Chain A
Amino acid sequence: MTRRLAVRLAAVAAALGALALLPLWVSNPYVLSVLTLAALYAIFASSWDILSGYIGQLNFGHAVFFGVGAYTAGFLGPHLPPLLVLPAGSLAAVVFAFLVGLPCLKLRGPYLSLTTLVFPLILERLAFTFRDVTGGEYGLRVEPPLSGLGLYFAALALLAATLAVLLAVAESRLGRTFRAIGDDDLAAMAAGINTTRYKLGAFVLGAALAGLGGVLYAYHLRHVGPEVFGLFTSFAIVIMGIVGGMGTILGPAIGAFFLTLLGESLREIETYRLLVYSGVMILCVLYLPRGLWSLGEALPALARRLGRAAPR
């Protein structure tokens, strides 16, 4: 375990620990609900990052994986004990990781991005069409085994586990291999790395984690419908990842919290949430290309400069 990893895990533990203790002071269910949603989006955004930020395949269709997880909760919820629904959702997402990942393996750059954009749209259409199975545009009702406070803790726990896994991977040789592929996949091939296998691996890892989050997401909404595959969810994840800072795992998680809370505080104009998100993202790409995380990195340097400038 490197020092960097230990520091980050400790930071995650501290932050999430604080959130876990929050209900001692705040009992407003609405606040807890928003934080639950933020935590779930943080799971989606950070699991997206291992693909897009590390391997460098800008994936616009991450919604496939947590949408499939959510629908699994809808289909199997009534039939399986709750403890089995989670792995089922994850497994279903992994199946889709192969379905999406295999065609995308040969593609790069914009071709990959547009293709990934299309997959959730296909699933959305299918969900509408096969209404007997999926409930069409009304979707499925989901009876959550956990709700309110219980779901809040579950989401935090899952987020903690997700971040721990992803951070460990990022600091490992596997993570360095991912980054090498993201930097230059031809050079990675020339170094003997089977880039295809690793790209697929990243898809599977991201999907597995997102699928778990998807199950909780369905519990949170008590409902799953085709809109989970819609463009809003796909784009929201990408925006959170970019605003937070791609390629850092923690950046997208922070981006998710930031944008979810921002969106909620503008609740009166809820329909314009995506307007604000996209506006923030455009500004970010132009002026803060490495996202909010880069602010965090700049702070110690800034502090040192200020320290030196201050009169003694």
Chain B
Amino acid sequence: MSAMLAVERVTKRFRGLTALTDVSFEVARGEMAVVIGPNGAGKTTLFNVITGFARPEEGRVTLAGEPLAGLAPHAVVRRGLARTFQIPRPFKSLTVGETVALARPSAAGKVLGAPGTGDAERVLRLVQLWERRDEPAGTLSQGDLKLLEVARALATNPALLLLDEPYAGLGPGEMARLTRVVMDLHAAGLTLVIIEHKLRELMKLTRRVIVLHYGEKIADGTPAVVAREPRVLEAYMGGRGGMAEHA
């Protein structure tokens, strides 16, 4: 079983609305995949299903071959799968250092070849927040909060990390910092799945793009291939920044 993550025919419905329809894909160990799609395409829902925050009506998700069916979110984390939230969710009562120290490292992460990021100091140094470890989390800027999100997720020693729109709301300097972090993690062998709108940065770095539209997977492959896919062009026509410029 070489796939780190396997999403098999996942369908998610909410009170009459079908958020995901028959979505399937695999992500190999050490791969970096980017999930894109217009707003409302179901990307965050997909993350929620993978991480146990939502239960799919159909289909299943496996991590390194082990099904994640019915596991509560914290148990999924213990298996070595961590995520960040699109809008940062800091612990306002705690400092930066306390936040990261509180995360529970997964033992399984090590088994699955996690790059051993569970150490709080190491993680904070990676995102350049170590100097600010005694500051209350609530006082950080938006960019720093997103990095703290990443740090907190890394502190759980994951083998697979899901980042939900990590670049949203960041200034150019912060984006550069984040890209450096992402590339360091990728180089260390961490498997990454990233939802992103701001494609320019990532598209140069990734070799795998998955496109969702209205809950369906409409394309899956390298950026060049995906950019030429007619359904993708249709989805993005008149929307945010054409796909073609990233080919």
Q: Are B93 and A191 in touch, CB under 8 angstroms?
A: no
Question: Is the CB of B223 closer than 8 A to any CB of chain A?
Answer: no
Partner of A191, one of B75, B92, B155: B155
Partner of B83, one of A179, A182, A190: A190
Partner of A193, one of B74, B93, B98: B74
Q: Which 7 A-B pairs have the closest CB atoms?
A: A192-B104, A187-B89, A192-B77, A189-B73, A179-B93, A191-B103, A180-B91
Question: Is the CB of A176 closer than 8 A to any CB of chain B?
Answer: yes
Q: Are A191 and B72 in touch, CB under 8 angstroms?
A: no
Chain A residues with CB under 8 A of B72: 189, 194, 196
Partner of B73, one of A179, A184, A190, A247: A190
Chain A, interface residues (CB within 8 Å), range: 20 to 34
Q: Are B74 and A194 in touch, CB under 8 angstroms?
A: yes
Q: Are B155 and A180 in touch, CB under 8 angstroms?
A: no
Which residues of A (163-203) have their CB < 8 Å from a CB of B?
A: 173, 176-177, 179-180, 182-184, 186-196
Chain B, interface residues (CB within 8 Å), range: 20 to 34
Query: Can you name the residue of chain B whose Cβ is closest to the Cβ of A191?
Result: B103
Known: A189-B72, A190-B82, A192-B74. A180 touches B153 (CB 8 A): no
Interface of chain A: mostly helix, strand, loop or mixed: helix
Query: Can you name the residue of chain A whose Cβ is closest to the Cβ of B89?
Result: A187
Q: 20 pairs across A/B with beta carbons < 8 Å?
A: A173-B102, A176-B93, A176-B94, A179-B91, A180-B99, A184-B89, A186-B89, A188-B74, A188-B91, A190-B73, A191-B77, A192-B82, A192-B103, A192-B104, A192-B106, A193-B102, A193-B104, A194-B74, A195-B74, A247-B93
Interface of chain B: mostly helix, strand, loop or mixed: loop
Query: Can you name the residue of chain A whose Cβ is closest to the Cβ of B156?
Result: A192
Give the most central of A180, A186, A195: most B CB within 10 Å: A180
Residues of B within 8 A of A (CB): 51, 53, 72-75, 77-78, 82-85, 89-94, 98-99, 101-106, 152-153, 155-156
Residues of A within 8 A of B (CB): 173, 176-177, 179-180, 182-184, 186-196, 247
Chain B residues with CB under 8 A of A192: 74, 77-78, 82, 103-106, 156
In the bound complex, CA of A173 to CA of B98 (Å):
9
Q: Are B104 and A184 in touch, CB under 8 angstroms?
A: no
Known: A176-B98, A195-B74. A190 touches B51 (CB 8 A): yes
Query: Can you name the residue of chain B whose Cβ is closest to the Cβ of A192?
Result: B104
Chain A residues with CB under 8 A of B156: 191-192
Chain B residues with CB under 8 A of A184: 89-91
Give the most central of A180, A187, A190: most B CB within 10 Å: A190
Shortest Cβ distance from A217 into chain B, in angstroms? 31
Q: Are A187 and B74 in touch, CB under 8 angstroms?
A: no
Instruction: Given contact pairs A176-B102, A189-B77, A191-B102, enumerate 19 new A-B contacts (beta carbons under 8 Å).
Output: A176-B98, A177-B102, A180-B99, A183-B90, A183-B93, A186-B73, A186-B89, A187-B89, A187-B152, A190-B73, A190-B152, A191-B153, A191-B156, A192-B77, A192-B82, A192-B156, A194-B72, A194-B75, A247-B93
